[in-house]
Amino acid sequence: MLEIFVVSYTDFCNYKTLITLKFKKMKNKHMILGVVLGNNFGNNPNTWRKPHIDPGSYTNIDATVKQAQAAERGGMDFMFLPDRLFMPGNPTMSPPMFNIDPIITLAAVAQATERIGLIGTASTSFTEPYLLARQLKALDVVSRGRAGWNAVPSYEAQAFASFGKALPPSDKKYERLHEVMHIVQALWGSWGKEVGQPDQTGIFADTAHIRSVNLQGKHVGTRGPLPVPPSEQGQPVIMMPVTSGYGLQAAGIYADLIIAMQANRSIRHTIQEAAVQAGRTEGDIKYLSFAPFNGFTYKQVADHLQRNFEAGAADGFVMNFDDFHTDIDDFVDNVIPILRERGLVREGYEGATLRDHLGIQPLYGHDPRVNTIFE
């Protein structure tokens, strides 16, 4: 019989640990390195005018694949696609920064790459969690365990207008985010790892290890299960942008990775504290910041990354390039060798999954150490 639990939204300031497990403490000896990609041109809004660029290529998947392959050649840990669900700015003089859907783009890139992690943005404010869980786990399975989800609640009124909605108050927006994150993780874990492989002489799947989810919140709900087996890394890695207030509490519970504009020791510490408050350990959250490349010498870029990494201001960096067509190769050929020589970046990929690259704990379903919002 289907069981439905009624949800009460708990005060997250008071959430407490249910179970504390002893996890092996993992310290990154090497810095994490990713690259932020987007409209195929670069972060400089005028790059589309350069003579070596096809100005019509902003939705050309071959161009995105080439950029991902360049980063993979350098052993970079992941590519990251931010997203907005509306058209920011005016496209008269510069291209839209975000255009085709990140998850579909990454599924195509997955087929043309082997190791690089693939982190895409999807909002928690619009899509039903069953669909989000299904798409993101599909990306993880298709990429053989290389997927990551940048989970954002969206913040601009225009994003909500795209769905015919008004911008909700922050507490409501994060209330939905918590329900969505919790349900997505529950769905990811609902096809148990113990199901294993089909036995051609016996049963296809042991349903004792396939569990319904049966969660109903104020905003969203699901019965489940999700009929998708684990990927090579179990389930996608979760990234969240740095914020304060409600966002900080959410990051403490769910995020494996934080993306910030700036390297900052004290903000990194605050985020780590939020993880500890949630029942996790400080090493469970890796703090990444965007880092500039253009306008500096190769040595200056390497020095900047090293200084911030060694000062504990970041666990790694997401490189920002003006021109994706030339700068990724330039970074791979000229900065990564300096970082390798200094022992700050590994010589190449050592594992196959995004979790391997990042040195983060395996997780399937919920983290059993953190309190649940569904009680």
What is the smallest separation between the CB atom of 252 and ligand FMN, expressed in angstroms?
A: 14
Q: Min. distance of Cβ 145 from ligand FMN in angstroms? A: 23
* Full 3-state SS string of the chain: CCCCEECCCCCHHHCCCCCCCCCCCCCCCCCEEEEECCCCCCCCCCHHHCCCCCCCHHHCHHHHHHHHHHHHHCCCCEEEECCCCCCCCCCCCCCCCCCCCHHHHHHHHHHHCCCCEEEEEEECCCCCHHHHHHHHHHHHHHCCCCEEEEEECCCCHHHHHCCCCCCCCHHHHHHHHHHHHHHHHHHHCCECHHHCCCCCCCCCCCHHHECCCCEECCCCEECCCCCCCCECCECCEEEEECCCCHHHHHHHHHCCEEEECCCCHHHHHHHHHHHHHCCCCHHHCEEEEEEECCCCCHHHHHHHHHHHHHCCCCCEEEEECCCCCCHHHHHHHHCHHHHHHCCCCCCCCCCCCHHHHHCCCCCCCCCCCCCCCCC
> Which 245-264 positions form the footprint of ligand FMN (CB under 6 A)?
247, 259-261
CB neighbour class for 370 (10 Å; exposed up to 12, middle 13-18, buried from 19): buried
Please, which of residues 80-109 interact with ligand FMN by CB under 6 A? 82-84
Between 113 and 150, CB nearer to ligand FMN = 150
Give the one residue of 76, 237, 239, 242 binding ligand FMN; rule: CB under 6 A: 242
Nearer to ligand FMN, 68 or 242 (CB): 242
End-to-end, the C-alpha distance of the chain in Å comes to 19
Number of residues that bind ligand FMN (CB under 6 A): 17
Residue 315 binds ligand FMN (CB under 6 A) = no
Over the window 2 to 31, marking each residue x when it contacts ligand FMN by CB under 6 A and - when it does not, the resulting string is ------------------------------
Residues 6 or more apart whose CB falls under 8 angstroms from that of 66 comprise none
**119-158 positions binding ligand FMN, by CB under 6 A:** 121, 150, 152-155
Stretch 167-196 residues interacting with ligand FMN (CB under 6 A): 170
| Interface region with ligand FMN, contact rule CB under 6 A, candidates 77-85, 189-197, 211-219, 362-370 | 77-85
**Interface stretch with ligand FMN, choices 195-203, 241-249, 269-277, 332-340 (CB under 6 A):** 241-249
Rounded to whole angstroms, how far apart are CA atoms 65 and 112? 7
Tell me whether residue 7 or residue 248 sits nearer to ligand FMN (CB atom).
248
Task: Let me know how long the chain is.
Answer: 375
Please, which residue, 170 or 216, has the CB nearer to ligand FMN? 170
Q: Measured from the CB of residue 170, what is the shortest distance to ligand FMN in angstroms?
A: 6
Amino acid, single-letter form, for residue 206:
D
Q: Which of 38, 75, 192, 241 binds ligand FMN (CB under 6 A)?
A: 241
d(CA 98, CA 94): 12
Cβ closer to ligand FMN: 120 or 221? 120
Shortest Cβ 184–ligand FMN spacing (Å): 16
Residue (260 or 271) nearer to ligand FMN, CB: 260
Minimum Å distance from CB 216 to ligand FMN? Answer: 25
Least distance CB 4 / ligand FMN (angstroms): 30
Shortest distance, CB of residue 82 to ligand FMN, whole angstroms? 3
Minimum CB distance to ligand FMN, residue 288 (Å): 9
Closer CB to ligand FMN, 174 or 191, in the complex:
174
Parallel, antiparallel or unpaired: strands 237-241 and 221-222: unpaired
Question: Which lies closer to ligand FMN via its Cβ, residue 86 or residue 296?
Answer: 86
| Residue from 190, 243, 277, 281 in contact with ligand FMN (CB under 6 A) | 243
Residues that bind ligand FMN (CB under 6 A): 82-84, 121, 150, 152-155, 170, 241-243, 247, 259-261
